[in-house]
Structure 1
Amino acid sequence: MALPYPFTAIVAQEEMKQALMIAAVDQSIGGVLVFGDRGTGKSTAIRALAALLPKMRVVTGCAYNCDPATRKPGLCERCIGDPDAELKGHAVPLPVVDLPLGATEDRVIGALDIERALHKGEKAFEPGLLAQAHRGFLYIDEVNLLEDHIVDALLDVAASGENVVEREGLSIRHPAKFVLVGSGNPEEGELRPQLLDRFGLSVDVRTPTEIKTRVSIVQSRDAFERDREAFIKKWQRKEGTLRKQIERARSLVNEVDTPEQLLERAARICVALGTDGLRGELTLIRAARATAALAGETCATIEHLDSVVLPVLRHRLRRDPLDESGSETRILRAMANLEA
């Protein structure tokens, strides 16, 4: 298995790294959409973060990564069994599952196990990519080019947190909660609004233009390729520090207080920008809470909220034919007007 690039060794792209950490602290935020140039470290950052996170415990022999500490209804049908029985578990690395553009619906959601059906005459279910990604990351490169029927399947699962398969005489239901991470180039096509709305955070990444930054990136990557073990060892201490920070944040996030003035500010920003629904406010509050938890604080502040406004709202703005300004400019202008 190839050793992943250390997360703390990634140069620049601070907004992307922060967004990924926020999504890892609180999965209910809804994942991260990363749009930008090729070769800017998108997939590297995702795999690096997954390798950095602590291992998770899964039920031994379960194909759906069920948590032995969870009880019905958060388990698959096999693990529910006797509700009083103790489920044995073991630790495994957090899964990072790639969803390729050419994947069939059967490969994504699962289907009848043809081999067992032909050789044993058994009607069994073969889990798909959504089952493999449960409690981990589902990564989609070129997400804006994904076929509509796959998008529909993802929307259903994202809304319910479980995958339901009714086909070939099978009726299967299993948990499927994951951090959805999509990347792509906006010049190659737009993302369907329904799927776009499911992403909690959206970041834009660009190829660095500063010579010093570019040199630093090339030096680091070259050193990693020459001797991966030595490079990883060099960053081991920083990786350990960040791992502990994320672990603390995940245990603290549900205890972080959100004052009413924070809720009012989130609502005022969303009203000023004319965002649809209330998902913008909910995501703003959750992201601010996760940011506070990462800082080791037990109360979210205006500063925490303001630091996540751009990634939370830049993909939720309606198009205004009378305003050609970019989404970031409109957001910053709206926030400035609130201060006036």
Structure 2
Amino acid sequence: MESVFGLVRHPGNDALFRAVEMSLVSTLAGRPLHIHAEGLRGTGKTTIMRRVRKALPRIRRIRGCLYNCDPSAPHCPVHRGLSPEEVAALGEERVPMPFLEISHAAKIGTVVGSIDLSRLVSATHPEAALLPGTIPQAHRGILFVDEINRLAETSPELADVLLDVMGTRPGRVQIEETGLPPVELPVLVSVWAASNPDEEPGPLEEIRRQLSDRFDFAIYTDRPSDPEVVEQILAAAEAGEARPPRIADTKAELWRTRLTLRTADLRQVTIPPGIRRQVAALYSQFDLESLRGVEAIQAGIRLSACLDGRREVQPEDLLRVVPMALRHRVDPELLRRVTSYLAEGLAPAETPAPLAAASGGPATAPGRTRFPGLSFGGVLAEPARPLPAGAEPGTGRPSPGAAAGTGPGPDGRAEGVTGAAPAQTAASAAGTGPAPDPGPAGGPPTGPDAGTRSGDLQAAGSRGPVDPGTGAARLASGAGAQPGEGTHGRAGGSWLHRALARLRVRPSLPDPATLPPQAPPNPARPLSALAPEDWVRTEEELGHP
């Protein structure tokens, strides 16, 4: 569908349109919301952000103030000490929210501020005064930076200024000039940025990770996949100048009024305690590095509910906001685990369809049993899917000699079976491949498929409660192997794999006890000490078939 900016809104850029609306509402409410649009070149990231300038909401300021001082809380060097009566005498005005840009050729003086030379060389009344730069003049508005990944590499001093502006709410900017005392100003400005991570110098999180973390949301803008959408885009571009200005102004005014009304409703949006606890649990369960991630999630879910006209946050808001808040803070696999974990909290019918595309991976299949995964160092594991009661390993068919009283217990395991080996893999349970040899009692599975089924494993992202009497509780407490559980050796596997076997879980990494002697943590050997069979050869050396 066509937006009020004369652009076509489609599934590839819908998230960016929504993030723009959320940032404008949040900025009007007094809390800057920083957004970073990434994607292939030519997908309309910069066009969408710059086109918003035509329909920006209006703000109140002291008449003629270059710093956009709020009449109820003046902050600039000129008006900060005035009484309410003096401010009222100056008057106020309503102006569009400021929208300014920082170019790659900008200097520190033009971005932060410098001496006002026109007043310094005035013939009638010369005086030393400050001229506010781009950032102070963007107070209570939007500051846009295109190709921010290149700016972070070529102008590190400007990136440092942005770190101060985006680090706190309100941010701060300090103007220093020779002969004048330093002036520090609070700034409430939402920073918008765009970049092409597939081009030089690379993604922003790899160039300046601190700056990337300052952005609340990172939104991937994709190309349209529907030919009908492309046809609408071409038609809109051809009719751009032919559209009657009065109709465009009316649409912009309606959109501007809608955002202003939503800003008033934002204060009434509440977060249920259960959802707030779930947001807090994400930080600890998935070992998120930055608290800014969960703070962005909390602000985003309130804005999402507000834009939908609701007074209370719902779980669907989490699924919509979390991918944008964590995409630039965690790796894709962890993001997939987080979104799958949140999706499992909803009924299958309530899970939004775009979840898989937003999270960068497929969502957990409906009805799948969730297991709070275990993590011991670098080993991540989850339990194998148990065979049906009485099923014959490797076939999935009932065993002819199955005991009559054998059946699944409350925990899904077969009752009445003693000395059972760890559960078979999903492929073995379905009868699609041979079952691995369970190996010695209490040891890890062996055989041709042992340690090679990591593709069937899904590392879970939380640590669930464990029975104090089980091996998991002893592992969590650091007790290690108990008397009578065997000793570490190559024949029986490491204590870690024996413990995982008792918990009916499969490791996604090979058993350290079975690794070759030259593998870490043993000291590395020089090339001259390696046998020919230990060498790693390239395809060019081996020759193409």
Shorter chain as denominator, the TM-score bin is 0.7 to 0.9
Equivalent position amino acid for 1:291 in 2:
S
Q: Is the 8 A contact 1:99 1:129 kept in 2?
A: yes
Are positions 1:329 and 2:336 aligned together? yes
Give distance in 1, aligned partners of 2:177 and 2:306. Answer: 43
| Aligned ranges 1:180-259 → 2 under 5 Å | 180-187=191-198, 188=200, 189-191=202-204, 192-225=208-241, 227-228=242-243, 230=244, 232-234=245-247, 238-259=251-272
Q: Which residue of structure 1 aligns with residue 502 of structure 2?
A: none
Give distance in 1, aligned partners of 2:295 and 2:43. Answer: 30
TM-score by length of 1: 0.87
Q: Of residues 294, 297, 300 in structure 1, which corresponds to 2:310?
A: 297
Are positions 1:95 and 2:98 aligned together? yes
Q: Is the 8 A contact 1:11 1:217 kept in 2?
A: no
Q: Is the 8 A contact 1:29 1:200 kept in 2?
A: no
Are positions 1:167 and 2:177 aligned together? yes
Query: CA offset at residue 167 of structure 1?
Result: 2.3
Query: CA offset at residue 9 of structure 1?
Result: 4.0
Deviations 1:225-253 (A, max 9, x none): 3x24x2x5445555444333311211111
| Aligned ranges 1:70-109 → 2 under 5 Å | 70-71=72-73, 74-84=74-84, 85=86, 86=88, 87-109=90-112
Farther-moved stretch of structure 1 (16-25 vs 299-308): 299-308
Deviations 1:39-74 (A, max 9, x none): 222233223334323211221121101111x22xx5
Q: Which residue of structure 2 aligns with residue 6 of structure 1?
A: 4
Q: Is the 8 A contact 1:112 1:168 kept in 2?
A: no
Equivalent position amino acid for 1:193 in 2:
R
Q: Of residues 250, 268, 293 in structure 2, which corresponds to 1:280?
A: 293
Query: CA offset at residue 338 of structure 1?
Result: 5.7
Q: Is the 8 A contact 2:322 2:339 kept in 1?
A: no
Query: CA offset at residue 261 of structure 1?
Result: 0.7
Q: Is the 8 A contact 1:32 1:200 kept in 2?
A: yes
Deviations 1:131-159 (A, max 9, x none): 22111110000011111110111111222
Q: Which residue of structure 1 aligns with residue 41 of structure 2?
A: 38
Q: Of residues 117, 133, 136 in structure 2, which corresponds to 1:131?
A: 136
Give distance in 2, aligned partners of 1:242 and 1:182. Answer: 22
Q: Of residues 310, 319, 323 in structure 1, which corresponds to 2:323?
A: 310
Are positions 1:26 and 2:34 aligned together? no
| Higher RCO (CA-CA < 8 Å; seq separation 6+) | 1
For structure 1, list consecutive stretches of 5 or more residues without a partner in the other structure: 320-324
For structure 2, list consecutive stretches of 5 or more residues without a partner in the other structure: 347-369, 371-545
Give distance in 2, aligned partners of 1:335 and 1:113. Answer: 54
Equivalent position amino acid for 1:75 in 2:
H
After superposition, the Cα gap between the structure-2 partners of 1:234 and 1:63, relative to the gap in structure 1 and judged at 3 Å, is closer
Q: Which residue of structure 2 aligns with residue 53 of structure 1?
A: 56
Equivalent position amino acid for 1:176 in 2:
V
Q: Which has the larger radius of gyration?
A: 2
Query: CA offset at residue 100 of structure 1?
Result: 0.3
Equivalent position amino acid for 1:153 in 2:
V
Q: Is the 8 A contact 1:8 1:239 kept in 2?
A: no
Q: Which residue of structure 1 aligns with residue 65 of structure 2?
A: 62
Query: CA offset at residue 337 of structure 1?
Result: 5.8
Q: Which residue of structure 1 aligns with residue 535 of structure 2?
A: none
Q: Which residue of structure 1 aligns with residue 127 of structure 2?
A: 122
More helix by share: 1
Q: Is the 8 A contact 1:32 1:203 kept in 2?
A: yes
Give distance in 2, aligned partners of 1:96 and 1:53. Answer: 8
Q: Is the 8 A contact 1:51 1:94 kept in 2?
A: no
TM-score by length of 2: 0.56
Equivalent position amino acid for 1:126 in 2:
L
After superposition, the Cα gap between the structure-2 partners of 1:236 and 1:77, relative to the gap in structure 1 and judged at 3 Å, is closer
Give distance in 1, aligned partners of 2:234 and 2:337. Answer: 35
After superposition, the Cα gap between the structure-2 partners of 1:211 and 1:316, relative to the gap in structure 1 and judged at 3 Å, is same
Equivalent position amino acid for 2:212 in 1:
L
Q: Is the 8 A contact 1:245 1:294 kept in 2?
A: no
Q: Is the 8 A contact 2:32 2:189 kept in 1?
A: no
Give distance in 2, aligned partners of 1:193 and 1:276. Answer: 12
Q: Is the 8 A contact 2:224 2:230 kept in 1?
A: yes
Equivalent position amino acid for 1:163 in 2:
V
SS at match of 2:240: helix
Q: Which residue of structure 2 aligns with residue 322 of structure 1?
A: none
Give distance in 2, aligned partners of 1:49 and 1:211. Answer: 26
